[in-house]
Chains A and B, each alone.
Chain A
Amino acid sequence: MPTEAPTLTPADFASDQDVRWCPGCGDYAILATMKKVLPQLGTLREKIVFVSGIGCSSRFPYYMNTYGMHSIHGRAPAIATGLKAARPDLQVWVVTGDGDGLSIGGNHLLHCIRRNVDLKILLFNNRIYGLTKGQYSPTTPLGQVNKTATMGVIDNPLNPLSIAIGAEATFVARSIDVRTKHLGEVLKRAAAHKGTAFVEIFQNCNVFNDGAWEYASKKETMFDSVVELEHGKPMIFGKNKDKGIRLNGTEPEIVELGKGIKEDDLLFHDEKAPTATLAYLLSRMQYPAMPTPIGVFRDVDAPKYDVELNKQVEAAKAKKGEGDLNALFSSGDTWTVA
């Protein structure tokens, strides 16, 4: 992207609209981090578009002083695909949530990812329907009692990253709303990726599902419940960096370092692995059975739909010449009436 833009500040990316999320909502931290990251990317504001669906997270575009569209429930990936196909020069972000992206818009998300359209998809996962006030979502844990599950949720929840990896995502990452430094780095990595970058962000809904990610965001627990992925590094976690992940057959297990176990015995992260096996294995690790991984799971290169489509246009023009309508009209059998 060109960097001819004057040096911008986070304030330059704020629209003139009042932010209307509930006080204490995790969305504020994500919005602030985004405004902080974008000036560092150097992309011109007019070249950036935020597209969203419906839900609390989907109000995001209104608060960004870029181009933006707040659309309809679940359809943002499809809208963004059309936009990016028509305008490959734009940097397009999709903001969605667990209900918008995984329930009503699940099909679009799946197909957008498998096409590897050059979009940055941010899925704010708060494990609840917030805007409609507290119904369970596709990521709400089993057994949770809420407005539409008065005897407890019996729908087995989805794992967003496993879905994305299953759909052949070329960039998959996870971060946490309040861990803004980590989140900022992940957003920068997503922006730099060419192809669909899928980022799950643990986001707290303090009104309808407060504390859903407490284990991963509270200082007291997060070091023992979360493992930060780093490319080429062994998987070590714990407040004292004394625990690691080791592969036992095809299953990961927690081991304590020392006591005969060296770093070399641990699982090493490889976000560039040609197959998605490791990324998928990591996506299955969940607290409390295992520490939940955050960071970049996978970052590989593959053909991008929007790029390939526009390449076809250029190739066709190079081969057949710029289309000539008069020649087309007169092609095949014609006759003349005098």
Chain B
Amino acid sequence: MSTNHKQVSPLPSATIRFAGDSGDGMQITADQFTRTSALLGNDIATFPDYPAEIRAPRGTLAGVSAMQVHFSSDEIFTPGDTLDALVVMNPAALKTNLRDLRKGGILIANQDNFEKSDLDLAGYDVNPLHSQVLEDQYQFFKVPMTKIVREVGKDTGLTTKEVDRCKNFFALGLVYWLYGRDMEPTLRFLREKFATKPEIVDANTKALKAGWHYGETTDAFASTYKIDPAKLPPGNYKTVMGNQALAWGLMTAARLSGKDLFLGSYPITPASSILEELSKFRNFGVKTFQAEDEIAAVTSAIGAAYGGAMAITTSSGPGIALKGEGIGLAIMLELPMLVINIQRGGPSTGLPTKTEQADLFQAVIGRNGESPMPVIACRSPAECFDVAQEAWRIAVRFMTPVMLLSDGYIANGSEPWLIPDFNKLPKIPIHHPGPRENGEPFLPYQRDELLARPWAIPGTKGLMHRIGGLEKQDITGNVNYEPENHQHMVNTRAKKVENVALEIPLQQVDGPEAGDLLVLSWGGTYGACRTATEACREDGLKVAHCHLRWLNPFPRNLGDILKKYKRVLIPELNMGQLRTLIRAKFLIDAQGYNKVQGRPFAVQELINEIRRQLGQGGVQHKKDDAQIAELAGTAANGG
């Protein structure tokens, strides 16, 4: 597969987006590109963006499904701000994604899908492919994908409709050629995925190769690009998605603590894939229970926790709202379990497939009564693996439910994961009191030095005891309504959660230990905040970055860190929830940078805000060319 008759230009990194109709297979196309690039040794970060409807009306703006892949020879932490290349399969995809393509970037369009009816659905009066501005501003390639795919697929025995479905693999083949990627991993994928349908393997293989050859033989493409492998820490890697890494982390935590895993869950976007993933692993002792509702999901987990299992419930914001009473019970019973919230845009049903981090208040304070619980958040897809174990370690050490926050951006994004050796991971110790013959009453709420109570499980002789949601006397656990006792118990449960700070690492700071500005972040904004602060430091600004893993309690040195900077900026994909908690706890005038558009932060907007905070003035963006703005539509939200 030589391309030596064309120029090969080296690049440090590139960002590409595949965009088409929901039925065009864009997610699988981008996923293949991701896996192949990872196998080539690039660092990668992805951002899938798809509508909530399974099949939104065909060809419409609302039905556009896209996925973005950032691949690099350096370590990267975001899926990229602007696109170096954009593949659009129809006019709606062009309209909703064009604004994100940088000037001079590569634009590839399937010209066969720009018929009058397609244009009407996207709201174009004239065919944008004939627009001179696209020719002038981009490296613009109109490709007759459908026609070529029909030609190469005509002898495969498939119908025209079936053959047409292969055009995403044509686009993939063309992009593989453009970036010098190997086709073999995808050919292998096709052979395995469609092992029983050789005609589908055949048609897709032909489409993929036709795409590659189209690039190689058409004069239009003058150059290909080369992105060298990234210099990641040595070891074996594989690509993981956030929810997959989380599921595997949970299974690992179960093993490390000698427990069988019980998951009570109810399907909800974007958390369902954890339930789906875990349900594959019965041979690991994993029991998944698809409950009748969110309430049964959390309460079944409470039952399993009482029985001595590693109990988990997973959901997203609306489901967590329903679980609130159950979580309160787990707090009151003082049983260990994990409550996992893959956040999405709210309130109510909100934006099911879009990302947001607006459930922090819900996690920290969103229950009746004084009901504190530890809250931990993931920062990236691969890191979910570690956070799952950390959360369970704290849950069992302190006999408490732990809220684990992720979000749609992390859940569906993927990145390389340094494969660990299970045997070298730290064990998670659990002690269950043993049988007792002496007839002395068992004291279920007798506490250790960190205020954790014993986890006695049914079946243990002599430890029969009753627990419940009513206020109880300390030590005995007997129902007790006395005023001083209630105060004592509220204080004790709060102090216990505060004690978690003694068992978690001190907060680390990236950048100067003191200075003009500290960017404080949590959750899925890690990559954008890290990249932005590093860029600002390269520009000579005294900007540091703190990323919180624990949101409750905060690391015990956080207050000291915050005081060392003239300003504290807290960017969040909510209206300022961490900022409110930080202000309340530390009495500092933290500033917010807040966005709730269902999309992650772009690095550039954070750089602009940091510069603005420091009186540096943001980097001025040239106004979009009016004609491009028109082609990109006004109503469209950009992929």
Contacts and interface: CB of A to CB of B under 8 A. Distances in A.
A71 B248 contact: no
Nearest to B441: A16
A292 B202 CA distance: 70
A335 B299 contact: no
Interface in B313-359: 325-326, 328-329, 333
B158 interface: no
A72 B325 contact: yes
B149 interface: no
B426 interface: no
B486 interface: no
A334 B236 contact: yes
Contacts of A68: 465-467
A78 interface: yes
A51 B185 CA distance: 53
B10 interface: no
Interface string A33-46: 00000000000111
Contact of A67 (B262, B282, B296, B464): B464
Contacts of A111: 291-292, 296
A79 B35 contact: no
Nearest to B38: A335
B299 A82 contact: yes
Given A45-B464, A69-B333, A337 B458 contact: no
Given A51-B303, A81-B300, A86-B308, A67 B289 contact: no
B252 interface: yes
Nearest to A62: B466
B468 A326 contact: no
Contacts of A72: 299, 325-326, 328-329, 469
B85 interface: no
B466 A309 contact: no
Nearest to A5: B461
B462 interface: yes
A62 B260 CA distance: 29
Interface stretch (A121-129, A169-177, A310-318): A310-318
B264 interface: yes
B295 A332 contact: no
Interface in B466-511: 466-470, 478-479
Contacts of A110: 292
A37 B326 CA distance: 32
A337 B228 CA distance: 13
Contacts of B420: 329
B166 interface: no
A258 to B, nearest CB: 51
B589 to A, nearest CB: 41
B39 A78 contact: no
Interface in B278-297: 281-287, 289, 291-293, 295-296
A323 B283 contact: yes
Given A75-B299, A312-B282, A333-B39, A69 B255 contact: no
Contacts of A83: 303-304, 306-307, 458
Given A61-B468, A323-B281, A330-B238, A79 B300 contact: yes
A329 B262 contact: no
Contacts of B293: 107
Given A49-B458, A86-B287, A334 B296 contact: no
Contacts, number: 211
A326 B39 contact: no
A182 interface: no
B283 A70 contact: no
A251 interface: no
Nearest to B284: A323
A337 B299 contact: no
A158 interface: no
B629 interface: no
Contacts of B300: 78-79, 81-82, 85
B131 interface: no
Contacts of B619: none
A15 B477 CA distance: 13
B637 interface: no
Contact of B422 (A17, A325, A337, A338): A325
Contacts of B262: 82, 85-86
B520 to A, nearest CB: 32
Nearest to A58: B468
B124 interface: no
A69 B236 contact: no
A326 B251 CA distance: 12
B167 to A, nearest CB: 24
Contacts of A54: 469
Contacts of A71: 299, 302, 329, 468-469
Given A45-B464, A78-B300, A321-B283, A335 B419 contact: no
B239 interface: yes
A180 interface: no
Contacts of A319: 283
A86 B238 contact: no
A89 B308 CA distance: 12
Contacts of B282: 312-313, 315-317
A65 interface: yes
A336 interface: yes
A222 interface: no
Most buried by B among A79, A90, A321, A330: A79
A142 B547 CA distance: 61
A108 B131 CA distance: 60
Contacts of B469: 54, 70-72
A80 interface: yes
B460 interface: yes
Given A67-B458, A90-B307, A326-B422, A338 B289 contact: no
Contacts of A86: 260, 262, 287, 303-304, 307-309, 311
A289 interface: no
B307 A87 contact: yes
A95 to B, nearest CB: 12
Given A82-B304, A86-B260, A46 B458 contact: yes
Contact of B466 (A47, A67, A317): A67
Contacts of A219: none
From A54, A85, A319, residue with most partner B Cβ within 10 Å: A85
Contacts of B304: 82-83, 85-86
B459 interface: yes
A264 interface: no
Contacts of A85: 262, 287, 289, 300, 303-304
B232 interface: yes
A309 B290 CA distance: 12
B283 A337 contact: no
Contacts of B2: none
Nearest to B292: A111
Contact of B303 (A80, A333, A338): A80
A336 B307 contact: no
Given A82-B307, A111-B292, A90 B419 contact: no
Given A46-B460, A330-B236, A333-B185, A70 B468 contact: yes
Interface of B: 35, 38-41, 185, 229-239, 248, 251-252, 255, 260, 262, 264, 281-287, 289, 291-293, 295-296, 299-309, 311, 325-326, 328-329, 333, 419-423, 441, 458-470, 478-479
21 contacts: A17-B478, A46-B458, A67-B466, A69-B468, A70-B469, A71-B329, A78-B299, A78-B303, A83-B303, A83-B458, A85-B289, A86-B309, A316-B281, A317-B282, A317-B285, A321-B283, A323-B281, A323-B284, A333-B38, A333-B238, A335-B41
Closest 9 pairs (CB-CB, A-B): A323-B284, A82-B300, A82-B303, A70-B468, A83-B303, A316-B282, A78-B296, A316-B283, A79-B303
